[in-house]
Amino acid sequence: MDIGRVLVVDDENLVCWTLAKMLKRIGSTAEIANSGAEARLKLKSFLPDLVILDAALPDIEGLQLLEEIKLENKDLPVVIMTSNYHSDLAFQAFSLGAEDYIGKPFNVDMVERSIQKIFVKKDLSKEVKPTEKKLRKKYEQDQLVGNCPSMVDLFKTINLCARNDCKTILILGESGTGKELVAHAIHSQSARKNAPLIELNCASIPDKLLENELFGHEKGAYTDAASREVGIFEQAEGGTVFLDEIGDMPLSMQAKILKVIDNRKFRRLGGQEDVETNIRIIAATNQDLAAMVEEGSFRGDLFYRLNMMSIVLKPLRERKKCIPSMVEYFIDRLNKEYGRSVKGISSDALKVLMAHNWPGNVRELRNALERAMMLEQGQILSTDNFCVFPGSEHLREGGCLYGCSLPAESTILLPPEGINIEEVEKEYIKQALSRYDGNQTKAAKCLGMTLDTLRYRRKKFGLEKYPAQPAAISVPEKEDKDRRSAKVVPGK
């Protein structure tokens, strides 16, 4: 196998040096770029066979540069690096064509294996049929996990819905049970898989904009309508529209959605003609729609049309037999995302997870495992990393119901009601930035994290402009010199 030319794009010199040294060892020719502008030049002069790209560059977002690269050469593999995993970022990266996703700090051996796998894939792709490529991609994206009876039944129902091309499907379940994953699975296993799947969260779009988002508008339909724009129903032609949180859709829009389902037609805002559509509508909610129909907050006729084929997702507390297989799956996923090499979980720690009721369902389980893998220094996840479930009823003073106790030498006390660990992290970052007057390098060193990690967390917590810098004040040279030479006398 020939490891070709690799371009490393990152503004951290240590990261670039580490990767360049590894690439040289495995026989690759490597070039370094510390910014987006430099990367654009080297993409043309160096002509790399692979690009390792940081998600946060000083002059451009990594995903924007990824999009540019793919427009120029869609077959050039790109690996995205980031200081911390974020599901939305990962989804965007893969949807734009990224080959892999590496978390920082990374394990060099795992990065090496990822690079070798990419070049092996490039060699094999010349001999692999397109149908085989699509099949492999489908299984790589599969995220529904579980071997308990309820999950087996779910897989059968998904296959049934996909195979029969049901035009309307309703997915019901508590928050965090995986309704979005089910919608994606149905679409990817159906005859519509080559057409778009477009999602819309009905709770996140203001009522006045929802109709425009779904149906689009004609030029001049309203003041700012300078040109015709197509809505989601046209963009998804031949594919699937996933309406999440449909219980929050206003009644006026419910009537229009019902008309689309019945007539397979809709009209753009300001339009005079109906537009025919061939789409599947998958709706999802964590609300009791039947009860909402009785109280008049949801249309009964729309509910019955959507409920023609329904899928009810059980909460995690009712399918705990699936937890071991889910834990194994998430550890494997998080190892790849963070560049870790965690081998598994201790039997005592697994008992802790099995005893918890998981009010946040699978999403809470994943977050708990993600947190544990960030804290764990060894290769086996232990009970020490699973004693805190924010908002859980299982916490009590002096420890938790699993028998974990606070170490005698600990200087940080966990309150009986629990804490929001992200708020604690945000507060410490603010204190470090204030201490060093916004100097990110010193703040990162104080917090024991890389500069890239600090940058990510500042953006995540909305602290990019913190602390606010005071306006510059002009000081006469002599006065400034006198001030710097003055001694400070205590008490004066």
CATH value at residue 275? 3.40.50.300
Query: Looking at the structure, do residues 40 and 166 belong to the same domain, yes or no?
Result: no
Query: Looking at the structure, do residues 178 and 106 belong to the same domain, yes or no?
Result: no
Query: Looking at the structure, do residues 187 and 333 belong to the same domain, yes or no?
Result: no
* Dihedral sign computed on CA atoms, order 318, 324, 328, 331: positive
What confidence score (pLDDT) does residue 335 get? 85
Q: Is residue 320 in some structural domain?
A: no
Query: Looking at the structure, do residues 13 and 95 belong to the same domain, yes or no?
Result: yes
The last residue of a domain, from among 419, 444, 465? 419
What confidence score (pLDDT) does residue 280 get? 93
The last residue of a domain, from among 127, 155, 174? 127
Q: Is residue 322 in some structural domain?
A: no
Q: Is residue 47 in some structural domain?
A: yes
Q: What is the CATH number of the domain that holds 63?
A: 3.40.50.2300
Residue with tokens 């059968």: 156
Query: Looking at the structure, do residues 302 and 391 belong to the same domain, yes or no?
Result: no
Query: Looking at the structure, do residues 415 and 429 belong to the same domain, yes or no?
Result: no
Query: Looking at the structure, do residues 163 and 305 belong to the same domain, yes or no?
Result: yes
Q: Is residue 490 in some structural domain?
A: no
Query: Looking at the structure, do residues 265 and 392 belong to the same domain, yes or no?
Result: no
The last residue of a domain, from among 419, 444, 459? 419
Q: What is the CATH number of the domain that holds 448?
A: 1.10.10
Q: Is residue 132 in some structural domain?
A: no
What confidence score (pLDDT) does residue 176 get? 87
Could you list the residue range(s) of the whole structural domain that residue 450 is in?
425-484
Helix axes 361-375, 323-338, angle to 10 degrees: 50
Q: What is the CATH number of the domain that holds 395?
A: 1.10.8.60
Query: Looking at the structure, do residues 162 and 292 belong to the same domain, yes or no?
Result: yes
Q: Mark the ranges of the chain whose per-residue pLDDT is less than 70.
A: 1-2, 84-91, 121-143, 387-419, 469-492
Query: Looking at the structure, do residues 168 and 310 belong to the same domain, yes or no?
Result: yes
Q: Are 37 and 59 in contact (CB under 8 A)?
A: yes
According to DSSP, residue 394 is labeled T
Q: Is residue 440 in some structural domain?
A: yes
In the chain, the largest separation of any two C-alpha atoms, in whole Å, equals: 84
User: What is the total count of domains within the chain?
Assistant: 4
Query: Looking at the structure, do residues 300 and 202 belong to the same domain, yes or no?
Result: yes
Tens-digit pLDDT profile for residues 168-227: 999 999 988 889 999 999 998 888 989 999 998 888 777 778 888 898 888 887 777 778
| 210 phi/psi in degrees, rounded to 5 | -65, -45
**Cα-based torsion angle of the residue sequence 339, 343, 347, 348 in order, rounded to the nearest 10 degrees:** -30
Q: Is residue 135 in some structural domain?
A: no
Query: Looking at the structure, do residues 190 and 293 belong to the same domain, yes or no?
Result: yes
Q: Is residue 264 in some structural domain?
A: yes
Across 17-27, b (16+ Cβ under 10 Å) vs e yields ebbbebbeeee
Residue with tokens 């029969």: 164
What confidence score (pLDDT) does residue 39 get? 92
